[in-house]
Amino acid sequence: MMAMGGRLRRAVRLSSLLFLADLASVGIGWMLALWIRFEGAVPPWAAALSWTLILPVVLVHAVSYAGLGFYRRLWQYADARDLVRLAIGQAVATVGSWLGIYHGYQVGYPRSAVVFSGLLALFLVGGVRALVKLAASGSPRRRGTMGSRVLVVGAGEAGRLVARELGRHPELGSAAVGFADDDPRKQGMMVGGLPVLTDRTRFGEVVASREIDQIIIAIPSASRQTISEWVRLSIRTPARLMILPGMFELLNSQVDLARLREARAEDLLGRDPAVINLDQAAAYLRDRVVLVTGAGGSIGSELCRQIGRLGPRKLVLLGNEENQLHELVADLDLDCPDCPRQTVLADIRDQARIGRVLTHHRPHLVFHAAAHKHVPLLELDPEEAVKNNLFGTRNVALAALAAGVADFVYVSSDKAVRPTSVMGASKRVGELIIQSLNHEGNTTFVAVRFGNVLGSRGSVLPTFQRQVARGGPVTVTDPEATRYFMTVEEACQLLLQAAALGRAGQVLILDMGTPVRILDLAENVIRLVGKQPHVDVAIRFVGLRQGEKVHEELLTAGEEVGATSHDRIFVAQQEAPPWAVLERELDRMEEYVRVHDEPALREALFRLA
């Protein structure tokens, strides 16, 4: 409170000084204009009249300036709009003086002197404010030596406002020393009193030579590819990196520095998010009962959040892990409190229980996201993979048929393509199950296939982050290994869009962009925390584990790709066996599980996949 009171007193004192300086400027301008009008030889009558009129002229200016809010503005932060207001205020004061002299006093004072006095007053009053701004901000060199030295990436409106806000808040201990921008027209130019120092080509050199402590990326309208490239450059320097989020509003020409966030691994993907038709997705879900299996998992929980915001009649959350369901319910209470929902604690391997749940709730739409997904674990225990990913999928799909479910969406994986792992084979057979059942009733079955979800539980990103936090080493399977990645939010948005677009029996593929080299991801995760890979944190290559591939794929050998109305969603066209044939194979595998014949089970699984 004391600090706030001190700032208020300083602001009042500055306004008072400005007011007195303005009165003096107007008086000086008034007398100087007369001297210019008569080229230094002012007649006695004009001088006497000038002294008579100076007080009312100064008062007219004072009233005009105060009325237009000149003394309620912080001129040390003035911009072009403030200069326009200053010109308008001076015009009002000059017109007021003119009317007072020629219609009030009705004297023959030289009209050109009145006009000159207005122009001189504008110059002098504006000059006083320029001095205030210069004194408050200091030169770029002086600003750059105070506290943390900041390089702002982006010399556009957002970048300029970020630099200005840093100048307005010296208590933050940071000051912008310049900009980096790819626009060749801006190189070497001044923006908001600061120089554009470099583009990408000399970025690292400039960060080092200017002793930059912090980099702020302030290009909210840029593509993710552009952001990703700047992030990759920035994390190779010792400077701390912050990003102005892509979706924000410039309200009253202000930027909230509190919105700045640290760079995340998602910023490295370099792929623009898919644009989905929210109206179509909302129309697809509105007033329908929707059931999500695996609701507590990474995909299932985000799917429930997005569905809950789109107005379903009821959302049924089905999962077998009570803590995850409890956390999801707490999240939904905040995210979509008005969405009617029902939590069901159940295991998809329990055929009778799943049948009762679907018969009771009669969902119109089922998203089947429940699955075991960890490749190394399922290699060690293929029976559990088959019981959950195959028989569990069969249970939910048959229960959906019996309950008259209209649409069934199966969440698949790129590991189902030419599978080398038990997990991948189980997901491929899951696709065959829903394709085959499509001809057995009125339910429309669709599968959606996509790659790794960045940051999901147990995935490579949180594993790397935990290893870095412990000081390493970070373990990478193979230096050439690549994977497709997508954020969980984008994956679920595309899943909803695919569900609305899908036709009976289709396997839909989400465009995952360019595959990411795992070694590059590991190195960048280390750089994100300000450390150097192979120097501060070691990277150890451990070799591919059983069932893993060097490169993942999105299409099997016999599949062809068809287009949909969405440019990021495609159709994999391949025939599935009749349900009667597939059912016999599943029954045989069920017998192998019963007698614990793992070799026969594994052989049957891969033959079917």
pLDDT at 432 over 90: yes
Q: How confident is the model at residue 341 (pLDDT cuts 50, 70, 90)?
A: very high
pLDDT score at 250:
42
Query: What whole-number distance in Å separates Cα of residue 341 and Cα of residue 469?
Result: 38
pLDDT score at 179:
94
User: With contact defined as beta carbons under 8 Å apart, do 370 and 329 qualify?
Assistant: no
Q: Which two tokens stand for residue 467?
A: 């290893």
pLDDT tens digits, one per residue of 438-458:
888 889 999 888 777 776 666
pLDDT score at 76:
52
Q: How confident is the model at residue 14 (pLDDT cuts 50, 70, 90)?
A: low
**463-479 average pLDDT score:** 90
Least confident range of 125-129, 403-407, 451-455, 559-563: 559-563
Give the SS3 label for residue 280.
helix
Q: Which candidate, 584, 181, 271, places its Cα nearest to that of 451? A: 271
For the beta carbon of residue 256, count every other beta carbon within 10 angstroms.
13
Which residue has tokens 């040390």? 76
Contacts 24+ apart (CB under 8 A), 318-323: 318/291, 318/292, 318/293, 318/294, 318/344, 318/346, 318/348, 318/357, 318/370, 319/293, 319/294, 319/295, 319/344, 319/345, 319/346, 319/370, 320/345, 320/346, 320/347, 320/348, 320/370, 321/296, 323/296
- Per DSSP, the residues of 529-589 read TT--BTTTB-EEE--PPTT--SB--SS-TT-EEEE-SSTTEEEEE-----HHHHHHHHHHH
Q: Which two tokens stand for residue 105?
A: 């006093």
User: With contact defined as beta carbons under 8 Å apart, do 569 and 510 qualify?
Assistant: yes
pLDDT score at 266:
75
Q: Which candidate, 128, 68, 55, places its Cα nearest to that of 97? A: 55
pLDDT score at 77:
52
**411-434 average pLDDT score:** 91
User: Is the pLDDT higher at 533 or at 267?
Assistant: 533
List phi, psi (to 5°) of 320. Answer: -115, 10
Q: Which two tokens stand for residue 559?
A: 């599949």
pLDDT tens digits, one per residue of 100-131:
776 666 567 788 888 888 888 888 887 777 77
Query: What whole-number distance in Å separates Cα of residue 448 and Cα of residue 292?
Result: 15
pLDDT at 271 over 70: no
Q: Which candidate, 139, 116, 157, 100, places its Cα nearest to that of 34? A: 116
For the beta carbon of residue 56, count every other beta carbon within 10 angstroms.
15
Cα 135–139–144 angle (5° rounding)? 120
Give me the percent of the chain exceeding a pLDDT of 90.
Answer: 32
Q: How confident is the model at residue 249 (pLDDT cuts 50, 70, 90)?
A: very low
Query: Before 140, cis peptide (omega within 30)?
Result: no
C-alpha to C-alpha distances, 598 to 374, 562, 603, nearest whole angstrom: 18, 38, 9
- Per DSSP, the residues of 136-153 read HH--HHHHHTSSEEEEEE
pLDDT at 517 over 70: yes
Query: What whole-number distance in Å separates Cα of residue 12 and Cα of residue 7?
Result: 9
Give the SS3 label for residue 553.
coil
User: With contact defined as beta carbons under 8 Å apart, do 113 and 168 qualify?
Assistant: no
Least confident range of 420-434, 555-569, 578-592: 555-569
Query: What whole-number distance in Å separates Cα of residue 214 and Cα of residue 357?
Result: 55
- Please provide the size of the chain in residues: 609
pLDDT score at 59:
86
Query: What whole-number distance in Å separates Cα of residue 366 and Cα of residue 357?
Result: 12
Q: How confident is the model at residue 180 (pLDDT cuts 50, 70, 90)?
A: very high
User: Is the pLDDT higher at 399 or at 499?
Assistant: 399
pLDDT score at 247:
46
pLDDT score at 556:
54
List phi, psi (to 5°) of 175. Answer: -145, 135
pLDDT score at 3:
40
pLDDT score at 260:
80
Q: Which candidate, 317, 281, 323, 282, places its Cα nearest to that of 301? A: 317
Give the SS3 label for residue 403.
coil
Query: What whole-number distance in Å separates Cα of residue 32 and Cα of residue 2?
Result: 44
User: Is the pLDDT higher at 54 or at 214?
Assistant: 214
User: With contact defined as beta carbons under 8 Å apart, do 385 and 420 qualify?
Assistant: no
User: Is the pLDDT higher at 487 or at 517?
Assistant: 517
Query: What whole-number distance in Å separates Cα of residue 82 and Cα of residue 74?
Result: 10
Helix axes 298-308, 488-501, angle to 10 degrees: 60
Query: What whole-number distance in Å separates Cα of residue 329 and Cα of residue 339?
Result: 11
What is the signed CA dihedral for 428, 315, 491, 380, rounded to 10 degrees? -40
**Mean pLDDT of all residues in the chain?**
83
pLDDT score at 54:
83
pLDDT score at 519:
92
Q: Which two tokens stand for residue 8?
A: 């208020």
Which runs of consecutive H residues, i.e. helices, occur in 71-156? 80-99, 111-137, 140-144
pLDDT score at 1:
39
Q: Which candidate, 291, 543, 282, 552, places its Cα nearest to that of 412? A: 552
pLDDT tens digits, one per residue of 355-398:
999 999 999 999 999 999 888 899 999 999 999 999 999 999 99
Question: Which residues does 286 contact at the CB level (< 8 Å), separation at least 6?
Answer: 310, 311, 312
Strand boundaries in 227-326, DSSP class E: 240-243, 261-262, 289-293, 314-319
User: With contact defined as beta carbons under 8 Å apart, do 206 and 196 qualify?
Assistant: no
pLDDT tens digits, one per residue of 298-319:
899 999 999 998 889 999 999 9
pLDDT at 554 over 60: yes
Query: What whole-number distance in Å separates Cα of residue 168 and Cα of residue 175?
Result: 9
Q: Which two tokens stand for residue 308?
A: 């809950």
pLDDT score at 270:
66
Which residue ranges form the domains of the chain, and what is each CATH number? 2-137 (no CATH), 140-263 (3.40.50.720), 278-452+485-511+560-608 (3.40.50.720)
Which residue has tokens 């594994």? 602
Query: What whole-number distance in Å separates Cα of residue 156 and Cα of residue 300?
Result: 40
Query: What whole-number distance in Å separates Cα of residue 507 and Cα of residue 495?
Result: 12
pLDDT at 146 over 60: no
User: With contact defined as beta carbons under 8 Å apart, do 603 and 595 qualify?
Assistant: no
Which residue has tokens 């677009």? 501
**Burial (CB count <10 Å: 0-12, 13-18, 19+), residue 198:** buried
Helix axes 460-469, 518-528, angle to 10 degrees: 40
Which residue has tokens 């199950």? 433
pLDDT at 564 over 60: yes
